[in-house]
Chains A and B, each alone.
Chain A
């Protein structure tokens, strides 16, 4: 079945460091891919998405490219800020499963000044 494997954390970075959080997926057909962010005590917020191969999603300085050849959707940011501290979830919506989402286990990011 469809699934998402996400880089385990926690990740601790200094402010202005480069961030990569790895995400790979298993799915039939052509799923849509998402990154969600969860701040402490809050629900999930959509960060970015990509709906077809080679699409690049971007938002708030974060980027991720849908790579079908490597079944990956890695999240990157060139210079993290303290306010980026949160848990990041990679997710997919299968081509044949409507909008049922499959989430990774989440990666906790802490950015220190």
Chain B
């Protein structure tokens, strides 16, 4: 079975631009979460979506937004990019709460965003 996939792998943008990152969860997983991992740090929670609704939001500005589609894939959008947005953006998927394994997350390889 395919794991979590993310695209693109790498991305270079300039300050003020907009970026869209994409994630496809493992087949059967209905929850997707997004994390930002700055170099040398642990991942920081940005958003969680389950059943196409936002279920949680971390301490990130409104420039960050996301959505989940009917096929459970997800997009993360970042507007007005800043140098400090340069990071590895990780997507994670998990099963439903009813599975008893809702908090077992499987991570994709990430999208490396560089803002110049």
Interface segment out of the listed A12-20, A62-70, A73-81, A96-104: A96-104
- Contact partner of A93 (CB less than 8 A), chosen from B40, B43, B103, is B103
Distance A102 CA – B58 CA, assembled complex (angstroms): 10
Distance A105 CA – B42 CA, assembled complex (angstroms): 4
**Residue contact A98 to B103, C-beta cutoff 8 Å:** yes
Q: Contacts A43-B90, A44-B90; is A104 near B42 (CB within 8 Å)?
A: yes
A-chain residues with CB within 8 Å of residue B55 when the two chains form the complex: 98
Distance A102 CA – B48 CA, assembled complex (angstroms): 13
Distance A43 CA – B55 CA, assembled complex (angstroms): 23
Least Cβ–Cβ distance between B105 and chain A, in angstroms: 6
Identify whether the interface residues of A are mostly helix, strand, loop, or mixed: strand
B-chain residues with CB within 8 Å of residue A105 when the two chains form the complex: 40-42
Q: Which of A32-51 contact B (CB under 8 A)?
A: 32, 36, 42-46, 49
Distance A36 CA – B94 CA, assembled complex (angstroms): 15
B-chain residues with CB within 8 Å of residue A100 when the two chains form the complex: 33, 45, 48, 56, 58
- Report A101-112 CB contacts with B as 1/0, cut-off 8 Å: 111111000000
**Residue contact A106 to B41, C-beta cutoff 8 Å:** yes
Check if A25 is an interface residue, CB within 8 A of chain B: no
Q: How many A residues have CB within 8 A of the partner chain?
A: 23
Check if B104 is an interface residue, CB within 8 A of chain A: yes
Q: Contacts A99-B94, A104-B42; is A46 near B104 (CB within 8 Å)?
A: yes
- Contact partner of B43 (CB less than 8 A), chosen from A45, A49, A101, is A101
- Contact partner of B103 (CB less than 8 A), chosen from A4, A99, A104, is A99
Least Cβ–Cβ distance between A66 and chain B, in angstroms: 14
**Residue contact A98 to B45, C-beta cutoff 8 Å:** no
- Report B10-48 CB contacts with A as 1/0, cut-off 8 Å: 000000000000000000000101010000111111001
Distance A45 CA – B106 CA, assembled complex (angstroms): 7
A-chain residues with CB within 8 Å of residue B104 when the two chains form the complex: 46, 49, 99
- 5 contacts across the A-B interface (CB closer than 8 A): A43-B110, A44-B92, A98-B55, A102-B45, A105-B40
Ordered nearest first, which 10 A-B pairs have the shortest CB separation? A103-B42, A99-B103, A93-B103, A44-B107, A43-B107, A43-B109, A100-B56, A103-B43, A105-B42, A43-B110
